[in-house]
């Protein structure tokens, strides 16, 4: 077995003693879930996939559908338009909390049910059928395969969905929601009843990790801005009333669902899908949460702990008799670009142009982070302006183009 | 002028037309602030500092003190002990919200006043004087210079601090808070009345960006875990009832105060301090917030958008007649380590040990991210076990040690 | 003009300068109401009726229907059964507040919309048609004439009734409400759309004042217990979030509706109906409220100020040579019965039986309040037992039977 | 034993099987209370007193002090001034709820702790000592004997009173409360620590029943308006979050305290004091509440059920050849006055003046209720004006003067 799978297997094994939690039982289909079944899958931004446990076992998306439909809405309409209808604030409340702005009826965020129903209503479509088709097509593109609705689960959701209908009517009563309630709630129930497995969740999460591009199929599902906004919503509100503790302890944007699935993202690295149906009092998979916390702690995946563990290489300056060589390190982030800019300022002040030359050596650069790109280019431009032909740039891999 | 200062100057200029907001007026000292005065400072994790505007102008820390005192508490007691007294959830409510758990009296997070007062009460000290001394010493270590209390502001806070006293008495009434109310509230008022300038805020924020080590003085102020937990609290609750929108739009952990200061962090890169005293209805500096948003958008500083802007270099595999060379790229993160592991699995399966050799070339590696370190080492170990002397490792910079 | 009508006319005139408030505009039929039209009617428990203004002008009952339907439910099921489904606590909140018990979904009282919808669902009927028929029959019996539904108003309510549907779905989602939501909400909208005039309101209120018996038609509409419970609900919650101030200042159980009607009760005396369509921010008729306050203050109608304004007559004791005469006053309440009991105790102690006789003279008694009846009878029994034939009872109007 | 005492004894005995509830234990003095001790006392508006159980056993007033201090504040300042500082709305919340208006800090009513502390702060006094002296003097006047403070209970309340201090600081933070917090809270704790027995509670309640005049001592403690407002507050909010159910089921304005006392009022009839220290979850004496409910049901004491149980006597009209005699019944309330007015209108219309005379016979009148007084006089005036000397008035007891 490969090492990543081994690591996943260890994480799964480490939580097997967790017997707590209850399988959701508000509809028979969920109540029948086998609480001992579990799965964990990881898909990297290179498109490699790993899985342990019953990774082919299908379950319904439920609330895990919310961030992906939100990504579609933001992609179609832009975040500013979406924000007019759905807020971005964590509520500190449960998934089915009312949490509507008392004056406008706007739900506080897109991860609670009210906000998710509103988000579904924002998806364009000339009629309910077309909207559903586009929703399903997008969820399928996220997963990289055609997904289908579990019609029996949908039928059961319809029967027990009074609270969601209530939320929709509350939003309609202030004109926050403009659609027919039955239409939008039924579409929402259908998106919740889409069947996936843990591997699918990992691909879907990896697509968000990979700036909206499915790393397995290469398809651009949503744009980078929509992916980033979605990760922000997952980070601040994805875990409902434990969102703050999750960001503190696990530090991965994530979304859970009552069928026992969780999708989690390490931005720029990979997506994870986990499945285990016994839920805690917040409606989150007990083992699923524990597995992700274990992975985060063991592998240092915390969003706010991505500092290098080994010494970064700084800019190296070699002053020779007739030239000063500025050797740039492999990764250019804001900190490195800032060092170069800092040095350039001093070189210009010292008027080192005349007898000597300055060589900027970019040969080792492999990565230019967005946070460093603009400052790097501006610094090079500034030096060129000041030094003219005395500046030489060694850029064999065309980093500056 | 250097380019970073120029960039800061442009961000400052871009928001000069924002005339909205009101200067805080609940005490005379704040009410007298000049609404046209402003400053912006940046300090990188290399310790370089930049500033534009009145960066020497002093103002009181107010709520910006909260994350730094929280960092001290977590450093001293550990997050698990701190969490027994202060929650980690965003409240979706204003800075002075009551937001206590009705049963236990525990405040929901450390960024609202109630939680900050509780946090102050957790700082060890044999008496009030010693606690205050340790608080001041820590804030000074964050700033890299001796900070002092504005006694006049403290006196005014004392006079108008009834709501904070009320919050403390509410927490005491459930035994959540065990200290004498006057003692702890007075200490809290003193920490709020500590004088800083925008440059100080930037150094303090940079210390959090630099995993607890002040990048200017080199002093370890708090440990890495405390710095990470603090950034998580700032990300989820630092901006009170606009925390979610801030994470969505700006994406930098930050904390604002009613005197008009904001400290913001780009983890692993730099800290920013900004000052402009006119506040919006949430108690956040109008221009300060706009400046940070501008910087984030212009320079791609969003926490959830740190994917590389230029192509990363992947693992390069060169298969020769008698050897296979695996050239590792300069940055090893989880994705690269996973590629290596993926490949190693296949090499072992193919039983390539006998006639040929495998060479792992680490010569170009400059950075091993925490998320890649463990998997890299495990993969190398696995290959060594499987291949014995057929494996050669070229590691001139001792990446593996 | 008779004096009562004159008094009503003066109350109407006294509030004519009140120009504040807005006509309800959520449906066109209400928005078109003439804000200058007004009416005031009073019907005594003797069945006499008085009216000033446009007392024949019809408007829809709206929320004024709530107490009368509640009276029917309590009459049919008993208060204990009703209380399982609808609470009895004032909410301190607006008419359309959610105010459901979070655990059970039970609405806090029957005067807010949620509680009224629940109450309507409690009315028996083999189907929706039968339930509506019984509702209409009861409202008609309260008014003493056949009432009809304004179908246009009903149609408009249907269109704008999303908040009420939401409340019903919320109650259904906890199984608090078991009916089909559309059926019960439509029936509720129909009961709100019943047309009445100010005179009808006065008759309906007078029926509650008269212990459930319509004083005009003589029909027993509901039992005494149901009438009493209804008055209690009107007293504590009839005026929503101004119920406490209303009890303090006006002191009459009352219920207002958004069409501008108010029904108010002076228990045992009369009912009042008032109409003026401009509403305050609580949804209560501005002039209607002022008229009732004026009437209450001018005529001493406050529920908690019903003490006699002239000296009550106490029990008179005349001790003659051979007999002691106890002359009972016209009204026997608890206080008088207690006086008699007090005296009887002393007479028995003194063993006054032998040579003398005791005469209880009931000739002047015209009223025995319920609070005095039981004690009066027990005292007479006690004296008879102790004194035997020495006790004479003069009871020409058979008060004791 | 007299019959009233017997009735009280039966009510006490009927609830002896109620073993539920817990004695308050937040201070040692309350925790030590003997849960089997109980007492019930009644004092009529004639000043007669009855008691069963340990009616001499002293306990502290606690929250039962609230309505009496409120009565004093309303008497001194008028209800309109008091309402600027303390609302009149039931909160539907517990005794220690925060329940302050978020904008102004005004407590919702005077029966919750926050409102009671505010009420205490309204009592005039040049200093804390004088205020306390006036408070004690008023409570003593209500009870008809000198009351004293239990200094040990006061000391314990001081130690555990953090929540009340918090409420006071919250009110001060919005300038709703202007006094020094310690001063007003300490005064409040002292008023709560005043020692009374069940008999005292009955006298205090009887004073409110008797329009502010202590029926035992004859002293006017507060004016009629203050007594009426106090009864209204007790009716709507005296029993906290069970106020609505209490009005529905018991129907007597009442106030409970955590020491196990309840004072209840039958306006115009009597006051009751009850003591039994085991409390329900609302902080109300379990047996005390049950005893009052039993009394109310057995003796028909419900505020909204005071209709006559035997036929009232109506106005009798005797038409003779040359005169029409209108014989008024013993009790003149609005209904009777309205009958007279009704008849007078018809007599005047018929122009019966000339040959005949009209005789109004007031000989049997014993009671003129406030609600009938004004209309009676106006009707007589109207007849006099219309009929001149043809009208004769027979008024041997000077009812009309």
In terms of Cα–Cα distance, which of C42, C3, C2 is closest to C206? C42
Mean pLDDT on C109-125: 96
Annotated catalytic residue A188: yes
D195-230 tens-digit pLDDT: 999 999 999 999 999 999 999 999 999 999 999 999
Please name the member of D79, D248, D269 whose beta carbon is closest to the beta carbon of C229: D248
A257-268 tens-digit pLDDT: 999 999 999 988
B166 in contact with D at a CB cutoff of 8 Å?
A: yes
Q: Is there a contact between A339 and B241 if contact means CB atoms under 8 Å apart?
A: no
How far is the alpha carbon of B339 from chain A, nearest alpha carbon, in Å?
8
| Position B313 confidence tier, pLDDT thresholds 50, 70, 90 | low
Q: How many percent of chain C have pLDDT more than 70?
A: 97
Residues 374-393 of A with CB under 8 A from B: 374-375, 378-379, 382
In terms of Cα–Cα distance, which of A147, A273, A138 is closest to A219? A138
Please name the member of B98, B163, B170 whose beta carbon is closest to the beta carbon of D163: B170
d(CA A132, CA A121): 10
| Position C335 confidence tier, pLDDT thresholds 50, 70, 90 | confident
Q: Which residue of chain A is at minimal alpha-carbon distance from B241?
A: A89
D249-283 tens-digit pLDDT: 999 999 999 999 999 999 888 999 999 999 999 99
| Angle formed at CA C260 by CA C258 and CA C264, multiple of 5 degrees | 105
B94 in contact with A at a CB cutoff of 8 Å?
A: no
Mean pLDDT for all residues in chain B: 90
Q: Is there a contact between D312 and C229 if contact means CB atoms under 8 Å apart?
A: no
| Position B309 confidence tier, pLDDT thresholds 50, 70, 90 | very low
Q: What is the pLDDT of residue A311?
A: 46
Q: Is there a contact between A170 and C166 if contact means CB atoms under 8 Å apart?
A: yes
Q: Is there a contact between A338 and B48 if contact means CB atoms under 8 Å apart?
A: yes
Q: Which residue of chain A is at minimal alpha-carbon distance from C102?
A: A97
Do D141 and D264 contact (CB within 8 A), yes or no?
Answer: no
In terms of Cα–Cα distance, which of B12, B5, B63 is closest to B254? B63
B343-355 tens-digit pLDDT: 888 788 776 555 6
Q: Which residue has the higher pLDDT, C305 or C37?
A: C37
Q: Is the confidence at residue C307, as pLDDT, over 60?
A: no
Q: Are strands B39-44 and B49-53 parallel, antiparallel or unpaired?
A: antiparallel
Find the farthest-apart pair of alpha carbons in chain B and give their distance in angstroms, rounded.
84
Please name the member of B162, B165, B169 whose beta carbon is closest to the beta carbon of D163: B169
B178 in contact with D at a CB cutoff of 8 Å?
A: no
| Position C351 confidence tier, pLDDT thresholds 50, 70, 90 | low
- Between helices C162-173 and A162-173, what is the axis angle to 10°? 160
In this prediction the pTM is 0.90
Mean pLDDT on D28-46: 93
B77-101 tens-digit pLDDT: 999 999 999 999 998 777 788 889 8
A328 in contact with B at a CB cutoff of 8 Å?
A: no
d(CA D246, CA C18): 36
- Contact present, C and A (at least 3 Cβ pairs less than 8 Å): yes
Q: What is the pLDDT of residue B108?
A: 94
d(CA C188, CA C209): 25
Cα dist from B161 to B240, D165, D255, whole Å: 20, 14, 34
Q: Is there a contact between A172 and C181 if contact means CB atoms under 8 Å apart?
A: no
- Contact present, C and B (at least 3 Cβ pairs less than 8 Å): no
Q: What is the pLDDT of residue C378?
A: 86
Q: What is the pLDDT of residue D298?
A: 84
Q: Is there a contact between A248 and B267 if contact means CB atoms under 8 Å apart?
A: no
Lowest-pLDDT range, B94-108, B155-169, D59-73?
B94-108
| Position B299 confidence tier, pLDDT thresholds 50, 70, 90 | confident
Mean pLDDT on D328-347: 82
Q: Quickly list DSSP for D229-247.
A: HHHHHHHHHTTGGGHHHHH
Q: What is the pLDDT of residue B306?
A: 57
A125-152 tens-digit pLDDT: 888 899 999 999 999 999 999 999 999 9
Do C346 and C380 contact (CB within 8 A), yes or no?
Answer: no
Q: What is the pLDDT of residue D262?
A: 98
> Per the residue annotation, which of C50, C70, C154, C188 is the catalytic one?
C188
| Position D25 confidence tier, pLDDT thresholds 50, 70, 90 | very high
Q: Is the confidence at residue D115, as pLDDT, over 60?
A: yes
Instruction: Report the 10 Å Cβ neighbour count for D188.
Output: 26
- Contact present, C and D (at least 3 Cβ pairs less than 8 Å): yes
Residues 335-354 of C with CB under 8 A from D: 335, 338-339, 341-342, 344-345
Chain C neighbors of A170, CB-CB under 8 A:
162-163, 166
How far is the alpha carbon of B228 from chain A, nearest alpha carbon, in Å?
6
Mean pLDDT for all residues in chain D: 90
Q: Is the confidence at residue A123, as pLDDT, over 80?
A: yes
Q: Is there a contact between C181 and A162 if contact means CB atoms under 8 Å apart?
A: yes
> Per the residue annotation, which of C63, C121, C256, C285 is the catalytic one?
C63
With 0-12 / 13-18 / 19 or more C-beta atoms within 10 angstroms meaning exposed / middle / buried, residue D346 is exposed
Lowest-pLDDT range, A374-383, B173-182, C255-264?
A374-383
| Position A248 confidence tier, pLDDT thresholds 50, 70, 90 | very high
Please name the member of C92, C338, C345 whose beta carbon is closest to the beta carbon of D90: C92
Q: Is the confidence at residue C107, as pLDDT, over 50?
A: yes
Q: What is the pLDDT of residue B311?
A: 46
| Position A309 confidence tier, pLDDT thresholds 50, 70, 90 | very low
D301 in contact with C at a CB cutoff of 8 Å?
A: yes
| Position C383 confidence tier, pLDDT thresholds 50, 70, 90 | confident
| Position B72 confidence tier, pLDDT thresholds 50, 70, 90 | very high
Please name the member of A98, A162, A169 whose beta carbon is closest to the beta carbon of C162: A169
A363 in contact with B at a CB cutoff of 8 Å?
A: no
Please name the member of B98, B163, B169 whose beta carbon is closest to the beta carbon of D162: B169
Q: What is the pLDDT of residue C310?
A: 43
Q: Which residue of chain A is at minimal alpha-carbon distance from B310?
A: A368
Chain A neighbors of C166, CB-CB under 8 A:
165-170, 172-173
**DSSP symbol at B175:** T
In terms of Cα–Cα distance, which of B123, C272, A305, B169 is closest to D113? B169
Chain A neighbors of B253, CB-CB under 8 A:
304
Q: Is the confidence at residue D309, as pLDDT, over 50?
A: no
Q: How many percent of chain B have pLDDT more than 70?
A: 97
Q: Is the confidence at residue C306, as pLDDT, over 60?
A: no
C17: Cβ contacts below 8 Å, ≥ 6 apart: none
Annotated catalytic residue A399: no
β partners of residue C50: C42
Tell me which H or E stretch contains B392. Answer: strand B391-394
Q: Is there a contact between B166 and D167 if contact means CB atoms under 8 Å apart?
A: yes
Mean pLDDT for all residues in chain C: 90
Return the active site residues of B.
63, 66, 188, 240, 258
In terms of Cα–Cα distance, which of A135, A141, A157 is closest to A60? A157
Cα dist from A109 to A1, A237, B304, C260, whole Å: 42, 7, 18, 38
Q: What is the pLDDT of residue A240?
A: 82
Annotated catalytic residue A154: no
Mean pLDDT for all residues in chain A: 90
How far is the alpha carbon of D381 from chain C, nearest alpha carbon, in Å?
10
Q: Quickly list DSSP for B60-92.
A: E-GGGHHHHHHHHHHHHH-HHHHHHHS-----S
| Position A310 confidence tier, pLDDT thresholds 50, 70, 90 | very low
Q: Is there a contact between D247 and C224 if contact means CB atoms under 8 Å apart?
A: no
In terms of Cα–Cα distance, which of C167, C80, C76, C170 is closest to C123? C76
Q: Quickly list DSSP for C85-146.
A: HS-----SS-TT---B-TTT--BS-SSSHHHHHHHHHHS--SSHHHHHHHHHHHHHHHHTS-
A178 in contact with C at a CB cutoff of 8 Å?
A: no
> Per the residue annotation, which of A185, A188, A255, A265 is the catalytic one?
A188
Q: Are strands C391-394 and C357-361 parallel, antiparallel or unpaired?
A: parallel
Mean pLDDT on B304-310: 58
Q: Which residue has the higher pLDDT, A382 or B92?
A: A382
d(CA D315, CA D335): 10
Return the active site residues of D.
63, 66, 188, 240, 258
Q: Is there a contact between A173 and C166 if contact means CB atoms under 8 Å apart?
A: yes
A279-304 tens-digit pLDDT: 999 999 999 999 999 999 888 888 88
> How many CB pairs below 8 Å do chains A and B form together?
293
Q: Is the confidence at residue C360, as pLDDT, over 50?
A: yes
Q: What is the pLDDT of residue A355?
A: 61
Q: What is the pLDDT of residue D120?
A: 98
Cα dist from D267 to A398, C335, D211, whole Å: 95, 11, 8
Q: Which chains touch B (3 or more CB pairs under 8 A)?
A: A, D
How far is the alpha carbon of A151 from chain B, nearest alpha carbon, in Å?
35
B67 in contact with A at a CB cutoff of 8 Å?
A: no
Lowest-pLDDT range, B71-80, B291-300, B355-364?
B355-364
Q: Is the confidence at residue D311, as pLDDT, over 50?
A: no
Q: Is there a contact between D3 and C375 if contact means CB atoms under 8 Å apart?
A: yes
Q: Which chains touch A (3 or more CB pairs under 8 A)?
A: B, C
Q: Is there a contact between D245 and C7 if contact means CB atoms under 8 Å apart?
A: no
Q: What is the pLDDT of residue A4?
A: 85
Q: What is the pLDDT of residue C331?
A: 78
Q: What is the tally of helices (H) and strands (E) in chain C?
A: 15, 15
Q: Which residue of chain A is at minimal alpha-carbon distance from C178?
A: A162
Q: What is the pLDDT of residue D354?
A: 54
A329 in contact with B at a CB cutoff of 8 Å?
A: yes
A334 in contact with B at a CB cutoff of 8 Å?
A: yes
Q: Is the confidence at residue B2, as pLDDT, over 80?
A: no
Chain A neighbors of B303, CB-CB under 8 A:
303-304
Cα dist from A394 to A325, A326, D270, whole Å: 10, 10, 103
Lowest-pLDDT range, B202-211, D1-10, D352-361?
D352-361
d(CA B218, CA B209): 13
Q: What is the pLDDT of residue C311?
A: 46
Instruction: Report the 10 Å Cβ neighbour count for C175.
Output: 10
Cα radius of gyration rounded to whole Å, chain C: 25
Do A341 and B4 contact (CB within 8 A), yes or no?
Answer: yes
């Amino acid at each position: 077995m490969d090492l990543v799978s081994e690591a996943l297997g260890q994480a799964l094994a480490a939580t097997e003693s967790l017997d707590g939690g209850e399988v959701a039982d508000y509809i028979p289909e969920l109540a029948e879930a086998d609480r001992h079944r579990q799965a964990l899958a990881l898909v990297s931004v290179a498109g490699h996939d790993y899985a342990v446990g019953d990774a082919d076992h299908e379950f319904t998306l439920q609330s895990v559908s919310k961030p992906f439909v939100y990504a579609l809405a933001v992609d179609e309409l832009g975040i500013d338009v979406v924000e007019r209808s759905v807020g971005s604030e964590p509520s500190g409340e449960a998934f089915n909390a009312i949490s509507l702005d008392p004056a406008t009826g706007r739900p506080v965020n897109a991860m609670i049910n009210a906000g998710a129903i509103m988000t579904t209503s924002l998806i364009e479509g000339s009629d309910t059928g077309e909207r559903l088709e586009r929703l399903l097509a997008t969820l399928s593109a996220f997963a990289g395969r055609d997904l289908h609705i579990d019609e029996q689960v949908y039928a059961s959701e319809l029967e027990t969905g009074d609270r969601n209908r209530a939320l929709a009517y509350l939003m309609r009563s202030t004109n926050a929601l403009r659609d027919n309630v039955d239409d939008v709630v039924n579409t929402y129930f259908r998106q919740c009843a889409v069947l996936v497995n843990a591997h699918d969740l990992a691909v879907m999460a990896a697509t968000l990790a990979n700036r909206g591009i499915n790393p397995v199929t290469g398809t651009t599902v949503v744009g980078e801005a929509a992916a980033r906004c979605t990760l922000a919503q997952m980070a601040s509100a994805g875990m409902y009333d434990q969102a703050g503790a999750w960001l503190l302890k696990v530090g991965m944007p994530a979304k859970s669902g009552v069928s026992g699935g969780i999708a989690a993202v390490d931005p720029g690295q990979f997506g994870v899908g986990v499945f285990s149906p016994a839920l805690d009092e917040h409606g989150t998979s007990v083992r699923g949460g524990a597995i992700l916390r274990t992975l985060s702690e063991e592998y240092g995946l915390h969003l706010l702990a991505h500092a290098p563990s080994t010494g970064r290489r700084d800019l190296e300056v070699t002053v020779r008799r007739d030239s000063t060589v500025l050797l740039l390190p492999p990764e250019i982030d804001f900190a490195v670009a800032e060092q170069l800019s800092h040095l350039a300022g001093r070189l210009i002040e010292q008027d080192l142009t005349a007898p000597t030359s300055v060589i900027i050596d970019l040969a080792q650069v492999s990565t230019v982070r967005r946070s460093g790109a603009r400052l790097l280019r501006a610094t090079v431009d500034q030096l060129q302006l000041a030094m003219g032909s005395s500046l030489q740039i060694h850029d064999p891999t065309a980093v500056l183009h």
